[in-house]
């Protein structure tokens, strides 16, 4: 499984765009990049997944360069409720596999 | 609809006691996972069930940990002779089909404190 590296923590203010970068140098051809969000006292929640270029949903955007050795999760105009831990995972899209979480990035959004 | 539920939400055990943690997955979900999350760390895989079959228990840290899902729905994680290093949040997740590994829905977890 490809190892991921992401910043331990980030601070932001309400209304700003937040970009969290994850490096995964050893990503395999059939691996996808998946991001989870975890609020205090809750389990992680899937937010977005992508293979290459750009993916956007109602929560976030995911940017993946051509070499796929890194990815950036973009949260537009964050609010206080976006304060959470964000995990970057590299995994195959189908078939049984356990989710391998790193330590994640703790995002703190202040007023 | 109802999500994954876990009980109890908090459990305090004295060292050496046995504990049982329950997970009620989303109805109809075939796959069920248990994870352990230490303070400040990401969740770590413990074990996986597909229906009642335990297909992977490679993450269970010792033979004091035991999980079951006898009827393919509710699951119980049992820890015998608890130790202080067992203190963590135990998360359960379920998914509808085995082939969508990222679509795991997590419960709120049970926080176990061993004193």
List residues bridging with A5 in a β-sheet: A23
Interface contact B26, partner A, CB < 8 A: no
Query: Residue A50 burial by CB count (10 A; 0-12/13-18/19+): exposed, middle or buried?
Result: buried
Token representation of residue A32? 């996808």
Q: Is A34 exposed, middle or buried (0-12, 13-18, 19+ CB in 10 A)?
A: buried
pLDDT for the residue B103: 78
Per-residue exposure over B75-96, b if at least 16 CB sit within 10 Å of its own CB, e if not? bebebeebeeebbbbbbbbbbe
What's the rounded Cα separation, in Å, for the pair A8 and B76?
33
CB contact under 8 A, A98 and B33: yes
Cβ distance of A42 and B104 shorter than 8 Å? no
CA gap B83, B13 in Å, rounded: 9
> Which of B8, B30, B43, B50 is the best mutation test for A, with the most CBs of A within 10 A?
B43
- As a whole number, the mean pLDDT across chain B is 94
Residue A10's pLDDT is what? 97
Nearest to B102 among A85, A91, A104 (CB): A91
Chain A's closest residue to B59, CA to CA, is A98
Q: What pLDDT score was predicted for residue A63? A: 97
Residue range B23-50, pLDDT digits in tens: 999 999 999 999 999 999 999 999 999 9
What are B42-75's pLDDT values in tens digits?
999 999 999 999 999 999 999 999 999 999 999 9
**Percentage with pLDDT > 90 across chain B:** 90
Chain B: closest CA distance from residue A5 (Å): 13
- Distance from B109 to chain A by nearest Cα, in Å? 6
**Percent of chain B whose predicted confidence (pLDDT) is above 70:** 95
Measured between CA atoms, how close is B50 to chain A, in angstroms? 10
Task: Tell me the two tokens of residue B98.
Answer: 């085995």
User: What are the E-state strand segments in B1-115?
Assistant: 5-7, 10-13, 19-24, 31-37, 44-50, 53-56, 65-68, 75-79, 88-95, 105-106, 110-114
**pLDDT of A2 strictly over 70:** no
B-interface mutation test, from A34, A46, A91, A96, most B Cβ less than 10 A away: A96
**Predicted pLDDT at B104:** 87
Q: Is B42 on the interface with A (CB under 8 A)?
A: yes
Q: Does the structure show a pLDDT above 90 at B17?
A: yes
**Residue-wise burial string across A69-101, b where 16 or more C-beta atoms lie within 10 A, e elsewhere:** ebbbbbbeebeeebbbbbbbbbbeeeeebbbbb
**Is residue A105 within 8 Å of residue A8, measured between CB atoms?**
yes
The answer, yes or no, to whether the previous bond of B29 is cis (omega within 30 of 0) is: no
Q: Is the pLDDT of residue B101 over 70?
A: no
Measured in angstroms, the CA of A62 and the nearest CA of chain B are apart by 16
Q: What per-residue confidence (pLDDT) applies to A91?
A: 84
- Per residue in A59-104, pLDDT (tens digit) is 999 999 999 999 999 999 999 999 999 999 998 777 777 888 988 9
- Chain A residues with CB inside 8 Å of B102's CB? 32, 34, 46, 49, 89, 91, 93, 99
């Amino acid at each position: 499984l490809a190892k991921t590296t992401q910043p331990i923590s980030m601070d932001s203010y309400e209304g700003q765009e937040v970009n969290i970068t994850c490096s995964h140098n050893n990503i395999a051809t059939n691996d996808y990049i998946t991001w989870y969000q975890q609020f205090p006292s809750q389990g992680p929640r899937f937010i977005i997944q992508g293979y290459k270029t750009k993916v956007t949903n109602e929560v976030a955007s995911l940017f993946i360069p051509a070499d796929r050795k890194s990815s950036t999760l973009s949260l537009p105009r964050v609010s206080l409720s976006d304060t959470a831990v964000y995990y970057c995972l590299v995994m195959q899209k189908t078939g049984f596999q356990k989710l391998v979480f790193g330590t994640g990035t703790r995002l703190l959004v202040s007023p | 609809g109802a999500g994954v539920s876990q009980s109890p939400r908090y459990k305090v055990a004295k060292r050496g006691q046995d504990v049982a943690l329950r997970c009620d997955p989303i109805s109809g979900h075939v796959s069920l996972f248990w994870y352990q999350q230490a303070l400040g760390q990401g969740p770590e895989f413990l074990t996986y069930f597909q229906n009642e079959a335990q297909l992977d228990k490679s993450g269970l840290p010792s033979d004091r940990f035991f999980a079951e899902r006898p009827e393919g729905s509710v699951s119980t994680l049992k820890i015998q002779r608890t130790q202080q290093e067992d203190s963590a949040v135990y998360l359960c997740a379920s998914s509808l089909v085995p082939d969508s590994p990222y679509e795991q829905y997590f419960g709120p977890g049970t926080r176990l404190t061993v004193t």
